[in-house]
Amino acid sequence: MRFRIFSLSLVLLVSFVWVGTVEATDYRSPEVKVYAYDDGSTLRAFNAYAAAFKGGGEVAVGDIRDNAAAEIVVGAGRGGGPHVRVFNTAGTWTGYGYFPFHPDYRGGIDVALGDTDGDGEQEIIVGQASDGQAWVKVYEADDAHTIRAEFIAYGESFEGGVHVAAGDIDGDGIDEVITAAGMGSSGHVRAFDGSGNWTGFDLFPFEDGYKGGGDVAVGNIDGGPEEEIVVSKASFGTAQVKVYKTDSSKRVVSDFTVVAESHKEGVNVAMGDVDADGEDEVLVGMGGNGPQVMAYESYGERMDFNTFAYESDFRGGVRVAAGDLDSTHAGDEIVTIPGRRVWLGRPGIYKYVDVNLSEQHLYAYEGGRVAFDFPISSGTAKYPTPPGDYVIQSKNPLQNYRWEYGPEHPDNYDIKDVPWNMQFNGPYFLHGAFWHNNFGTPMSHGCINISIPNAQHIYEWVGVGDKVFIHY
C-alpha cells in the first residue's frame, strides 16, 4: 500500500497560548520536511503554522480526495485546540479544516487515514491523544465533515487518550480502525470496524508494569491479503518496537529496540514502502532525546536511512510518516515534523515521589506531571533524613514506632498505631503524623512526617517498587 499512516506532534497557532518555561531545545518551529529514501535528499520543507509557533502535533498521509494525489493531514498537538488541517503535496494548505472535538479540549489529537467503508475513498480518523477519554471519530473528507462513526475505544474511566491507525488486517478489502491506548496504559491495541464496533481483535504488546502508552501503525510486510500491525512504546519506556501478524496466531514477526536501553522516552512508528520493493518497512522517530529518524525492515534489520531531521540538540522528539508525495523518486517519501517535550520532572520515569528537603515539600509525579503535592516534616539537623535515590520497599497501613537512644534519654519515643507507613530505606519511612501539625518545618527523627489525609492519599497512590528521590 502506497499511503501509510503515521504520528506526529504539531500544534495549531490559534485557540491557545503556551505558558511556563522550558528548555529552548525542547521545542522549535513546526517545520515539515519531506525526504527521499533512495538518496536521503530533502525534497521540500515548509512550516505547517507560523514559524513563531513552537507546539507539537500529529499527522497522516493519504489520498482523501480520490484524485490520485496524496494529502498531508495534520492534527493539533497537546496544548492547542483540536484542529485538523489538510495540505497538498507541495505543502500548501488546501483551506480544508475543522474541529473534531470541543474547541476547549487541549490534550491534542492523533490522526490517521483509511478506507473504512470500502467506497474507494479514505476517511479521516481522529482520536483524543491525551488528557481525555479514548474518544475516536471517523469522518468523511467532505465539506459537511460528516461523521461516519464515533466511539470510546477503551473504558470510559480511562483518560490517557488514544493513538489511531487504519489498515486492512483481515483481508476483506476494507480498512479497520486500529487503536493503541495512551498514557497510563501498557499500550493495549484493539481493532474496530468502520462503524465503531470492536472486531474482537486485540493485543497486549508490553509488560503490565509499563504505563507510557503505545503508538501504532499498519502496513503490508509480505504481500499477503492481511496487513500487519507495528506497535511501539510511545513514552516513558525503552525504544521497543514489535511487529505482529494479524491472523489468529497474532505471531510476533519481530521485537527490537532501536537505541540503547538507557533511552526512556519511547518512539513513534509508521509504515511505508520506502524502497519500492512492494513490501512496507517500519519507520521510527524518537519520542525525545533528539530528532533521529530511522528505517527498518519488518524483521528488525536496520536500513540505510538514518538522519537527524532537525538540530542535533533538539530534544522534543520527531514524528514520522510515509506516503507517495513525489513521483520522481521510487518508493514512498519519508515525512517528519518536530514534537515538543512537555514533561515536567525527571525524564523517562513515569511515576515517582520527589521530596525536597530544602522546601520541606513532597511532589508526586505521574506521566510527566505533578499529580499532587503537599508540605512535609523531615528530620531535624540532629536527626537528618538521608538524601538519596530509593524505592518504596514495603507498605503497612498501621504500625508502631519505638526507639531508645539510651536510658531516660529525652529523645526516646514510643508511638503506637501510626497510620499509612511506606518504607523507603531501612528504618526510614514516609508516614502519617497525628502528634503535630507543623508541616513545612523539620520535626522528625529522620522519617518523613505527613498529615493524615495526605498520608492516606499517597499511600493509596504509590506502589511497592516505585522510586523515591530525596534531595536538598
What pLDDT, on a 0 to 100 scale, did the predictor assign at position 428? 98
Tell me whether residue 13 is in a domain. Answer: no
Are 165 and 232 within one domain? yes
**CA atoms of 98 and 268, how far apart (whole Å):** 25
CATH of the domain at 419: 2.40.440.10
When pLDDT is cut at 50, 70 and 90, the band that residue 272 belongs to is very high
Q: State how many domains the chain has.
A: 2
Residue 289 and residue 411 in one domain: no
Instruction: Judge whether residue 2 has pLDDT over 80.
Output: no
Say if residue 193 is in the same domain as residue 332. yes
Among 308, 338, 368, the domain boundary falls at 338
Q: Is 371 part of any domain?
A: yes
Residue 377 maps to a domain: yes
CA-to-CA distance for 204 and 5, rounded, in angstroms?
21
Q: Which amino acid is at 14?
A: V
In a domain? residue 2: no
pLDDT, one tens digit per residue, over 379-406 is 999 999 999 999 999 999 999 999 999 9
Q: Tell me the per-residue pLDDT of 199-234, one tens digit each, with 9 for 90 and over.
A: 999 999 999 999 999 999 999 999 999 999 999 999
On the question of pLDDT at 4 being above 60, the answer is no
> In the structure, how many helices (H) and strands (E) does the chain have?
1, 33
Q: What is the pLDDT of residues 302-352, one digit of tens each?
A: 999 999 999 999 998 888 899 999 888 989 999 988 888 878 899 889 999
Based on the fold, state whether residues 322 and 362 are members of the same structural domain: no
Cell numbers for 417, please give them.
Answer: 498505631
Domain end position, chosen among 338, 359, 387: 338
160 part of a folded domain:
yes
Residue 39 belongs to some domain of the structure: yes
Q: Do 332 and 364 belong together in one domain?
A: no
pLDDT of 78: 81
**Over the stretch 180-206, which tens digit does the pLDDT of each residue have?**
999 999 999 999 999 999 999 999 999
Q: Is residue 182 part of a domain?
A: yes
Answer with the one of 338, 373, 390 that is the final residue of a domain.
338
Q: Are residues 193 and 321 in the same domain?
A: yes
275 & 406 share domain? no
Among residues 402, 406, 419, 404, the alpha carbon closest in space to that of 454 is found at: 419
In the three-class reduction of DSSP (H, G, I as helix; E, B as strand; rest coil), residue 388 is classed as: strand
Question: Residue 123 maps to which CATH number?
Answer: 2.120.10.30
Look at residue 323 and tell me if it is in a domain: yes
Residue 364 and residue 447 share a domain: yes
Percent of the chain with pLDDT over 90: 80
Residues 6+ apart with CB under 8 A from 2: 272, 273, 323, 324, 332
Domain around 385: 351-471
pLDDT of residue 25: 82
The span from the CA of 79 to the CA of 82, in Å, is 9
